[in-house]
Chains A and B, each alone.
Chain A
Amino acid sequence: MIELEDDHLVFSFSDVHRDARLTIGFQRTLRIPDDGRKYPLPPGLGRFPLRHVDDFAPRVPGTWLTHGGVMMPMYQSEALWLHFSSSYPFAVKVATGKVDAVSGKTWTDGLHRKPQDYLVVPRQPWLDGYNVGRGVIRQFVAMPLGAGYTVEEQVTGEAEAGGLQIIVYPMTSESYERYTRRMEVFSRPALMARKARAASVGVDMGLAPGGRMRQEIYKDQYDFSDWDHGRSSRCFVHMANSLAWGSITGERPPHAPVTAAAYKRAGLPWFEFYGDGETVSASSVLQKVKSVVGLATVKGDVPLPENESVEIPEDEIVRLRRNLRPDQVREGQF
């Protein structure tokens, strides 16, 4: 079952194993420049608030009630990343607008290995965007549904689903007992957002490909039969334009995060993560989608404000777990 706890989605499968519990958080972050360069990982700037769509039934689109699930506010051109936390192995499919963020295939329940259309948690601690190259993703950036920028619209030609979809499959308890994997805890510091930004109107938001970032998506190192294909939980995460969030919920939306340039000027850190293991190949579908800036150039729009490139010195990049085995304790400076 899935519950909401402190703005996290908590997936639990107590009938599979008492440890089978996965937490997924949606982190606000700065949008990296969409300029063709590859950037390191940006920080977390706090969690997006999550609410049950059913609690606001009279004020949300009817399709949201049909889909069920939860909703969160996003500004146009705001970015997010997903944080996975679990000691128990899970296969996690993530789609935006019902287009898989790893394989680029249109949504189906069920796991597929060739090409792999899921992430393996806890090996994969975060996901910041679409799989567009080996070790390279394009950042998740919110755009109004219907404007033509979302991956859904570029891949399917339709603006029907929007939002973000997640389905989670636990490992079978027998396989878990066999592997006795150990949990690794990774963290990217949460910093305070400081600056609000104007946004365009339109309630329903989708995700589009933004700037390029260095992030690996790891290959499934388990046997396909290790996953409990008969048990899954799924959730539709709707994205409401932050300008409409107040009229839907009566709550003030979070301020928009700082720009990459302002963050860099403050000398705050960026991150790189070094895991071990093979990574999945790029999705041929997602490689072909245009980034927001790329498409805007064709359309003659200017959808991304404050997109200037930033230089990030090597000494401002925090390297997490470089040259360490999964179970090796990192020694710091003291």
Chain B
Amino acid sequence: MTNFGKLVRARREALRREDSRYSVRQVAQRIGVQPSYLSKVERGDVAPPSETTICKIADELDENSDVLLAMAGKVSSDLQDAIRKRPEVFAELIRELRNQPDHAVLRLVREVRDGEW
């Protein structure tokens, strides 16, 4: 079982204990795959699904899609596009920041949020 599959199963089972709508069959139906395929994904018998399906799983299980994509060995296409546009800048930025604590990284990239007024 892969870490990705383990996390999906653990999260789904936790939700199922509270709500029967989180059975393999019903979740598979809502994200548009066969139940047998979702079982194989959870067991790690097949490679993780596509980015679109992972994002649907994340949405269904209320998980962060970037975290699930990373666990599946993928990077979301919008991030890939951003890196492709400025590969040197982002490569240098990521290498610079990889050992920084979260609060330092958040401080670096955080914007002031505008609301409604």
Contacts and interface: CB of A to CB of B under 8 A. Distances in A.
Interface of A: 1-4, 9, 52, 54, 65-70, 98, 161, 165, 233-236
Contact of B111 (A2, A65, A67, A161): A2
B115 interface: yes
Interface in B95-117: 110-117
Interface of B: 110-117
A236 B110 contact: no
B110 A4 contact: yes
A234 B116 CA distance: 11
A256 to B, nearest CB: 26
Majority-rule SS of A interface residues = strand
B110 A68 contact: no
A145 B113 CA distance: 23
Contact of B112 (A66, A161, A165, A235): A235
A69 B110 contact: no
A1 B110 CA distance: 10
A233 B112 CA distance: 10
30 contacts: A2-B111, A2-B114, A3-B111, A3-B112, A4-B110, A4-B112, A9-B112, A52-B110, A65-B115, A66-B115, A66-B116, A67-B115, A67-B116, A67-B117, A68-B112, A68-B113, A68-B114, A68-B115, A69-B112, A69-B113, A69-B114, A70-B112, A98-B117, A161-B117, A233-B114, A234-B114, A235-B112, A235-B114, A236-B114, A236-B117
Nearest to A161: B117
Contacts of A69: 112-115
A251 to B, nearest CB: 16
Contacts of B115: 65-69, 236
A65 B115 CA distance: 8
Contacts of B117: 66-68, 98, 161, 165, 236
A2 B116 contact: no
B81 to A, nearest CB: 15
A52 B112 contact: yes
Instruction: Give me the 4 closest cross-chain CB pairs, A-B, nearest first.
Output: A68-B115, A2-B112, A68-B113, A67-B117
A227 B88 CA distance: 32
